[in-house]
Every structure is written in C-alpha cells, then in structure tokens.
Amino acid sequence: MRRYAGPVPRLIDDAVVLRRFDWSETSQIVWLFTRTRGLLRGVAKGAKRPRSAFDGGLEPLTRGEIGAIIKPDADLATLTSWDLREVCWAARTDLEANRAGLFSIGLLASVVTDLDPHPRLFAELTSLLGSLEAGRPPWASALRFQWAALEETGHAPALEIDAGAPVVGFDPAGGAFTADPGAHHAAEWRVRSSTVRAVRAAAAGDLESAGAEEVDRANRFLLSYWTWTLGREPRVAPLLSARVTKSGEGDK
C-alpha cells in the first residue's frame, strides 16, 4: 500500500537570484535567496525556452517573485514560475559593481544553509542591490553586506579598539581586538586601526567616509575572518583578490 505523504509545500516568495547552471538543453538549476525560506536551490524546467514560466530570465543579481514546489525528500525544489521585479543594471554596466555584487551573493551562498530563513539578511541583500544601482561605492556596499552576514550568522567580532593605536591585534578564536601583539605572534593578527574604523563605518551604514584603500583592507580582513570561521576560503575570494591587486594593497 502506498503511504500518503501529505500535501506538497508550495511557495510563493520574494527572491534574489544568486547562481544558475545549465541542467539540460532547456532547463537550469538555480540558487535563490528568498525572504521567508532563505537559500533555495531548484530546477527551472524549460527556463531556456523562448516562452516559459520564467518571465525575464533567471539572471544573478535580479529580484523577483518565485513560485516553487518543495518536496521534503528531494534535494532540489521544482521552480514553477518567476516574475521579474528588479534588475541591477549597474552590475551589467560597471565592472566594479558587477564584481562587488557577485562577491556578495557568492559569499552569501557559502555561509548559509538551505531553507534556513534570514529575513534581515534578505533585507540587507535588497539594500545592497539598491546601493549598487544608486551608484554608491560598490566595495563599501559589499563590506556592509559582509558585516551584516557575520552579524546574522552569529560570527560578528566586537569592534571596540584603542583609537590611539595605529595597529591593533585581533584574536580570531575570541572574536575580539587586543593590543598590538607584535610581528611574531602566531595566534593573533595585526590589523590597522583604520581598517577597523572602515568596518565600523560600513556597519553603521556609512558607505562614503572610508577611502578605497581602507575599504579594500577591511573587505580582506573580514574575508580572512570568514575563512578562519568556515575552515575554508570562500570560492568568491578571487573576485576580491582582483580588486586588491588592482589597487596595490598589501597587509590588513
């Protein structure tokens, strides 16, 4: 006798496209971040056909309304519809906006788990798209998003520092800043105070006050902390490395 499994959960939700992969000649696998369900991975059957239920195409860094069927015993949801609402045109016309946007959504996909809701992080993601579209400094916007992701996942370090010290120490195990440990202290990192101030500015929503060099250092510092926290370097690190190499930045 076939066991009744109950109704299949159906979802209609706001979502931002993070990644997509070709699955067949006509279909795609798509990763989305949704307002109420968090990270959702699904199959969009027929998405590559000229006339499909996926209006406007499932492009990374676009926002819309997704329809999906979520089966508890399936690795992938079945995506049923897509109503495109917002395109981040800046990410298509400006190289740094494109890199900063792809870095941010790639980092997000690396640090959250499937179907774990993070409504505040969804709001931060839509704010990031708005900042890029408005022409605000793209890597400062990415820095703001990195910090929000750390806060939302419970990994954010305390940002209190000695304002008079040009260099401070950072203990990644404790998530706290200390006095400068010197160049030969293996357990702690040396970080410029200006780097921490750039993080604090971005955390407060101030994307204009920190200079490009400080923002680059701050992004690299937070990415290093993500790498330590996750035990692996996020796959999006080369996008930031290209930016850092271009700006000629060195240590944190």
**Same domain (yes/no): 73, 109:** no
Query: Nearest to residue 62, comparing CAs of 40, 33, 37, 36?
Result: 33
**Same domain (yes/no): 68, 171:** no
Q: Which residues of 110-123 are buried (b: 16+ CB within 10 A; e: fewer)?
A: bbbeeeeebeebbe
Q: Are 58 and 86 in contact, with CB atoms under 8 Å apart? A: no
Q: What pLDDT does 3 receive?
A: 44
Measured CA to CA, the distance from residue 114 to residue 226 in angstroms comes to: 19
**Same domain (yes/no): 66, 108:** no
**Whole-number mean pLDDT of the chain?**
91
Sheet containing 189-192, strands listed edge to edge, beginning at the edge strand earlier in sequence: 176-178, 167-171, 189-192
**Same domain (yes/no): 65, 118:** no
* Residue 204, both tokens: 């407060």
**Same domain (yes/no): 235, 119:** yes
The DSSP element (H or E) to which 39 belongs, if any, is strand 38-44
Within a 10 A sphere around the Cβ of 212, how many other Cβ atoms? 15
What is the tens place of the pLDDT at every residue in 4-44?
Answer: 455 557 899 999 999 999 999 999 999 999 999 999 999 99
**Same domain (yes/no): 139, 34:** no
5 occurs within a structural domain: no
**Same domain (yes/no): 39, 151:** no
What is the tens place of the pLDDT at every residue in 68-106?
Answer: 999 988 999 999 999 999 999 999 999 999 999 999 999
- Give the position of tokens 């010197």: 182
Helix (H, G, I), strand (E, B) or coil at 105: helix
Q: Are 181 and 201 in contact, with CB atoms under 8 Å apart? A: no
Q: Are 143 and 132 in contact, with CB atoms under 8 Å apart? A: no
Q: Are 125 and 38 in contact, with CB atoms under 8 Å apart? A: no
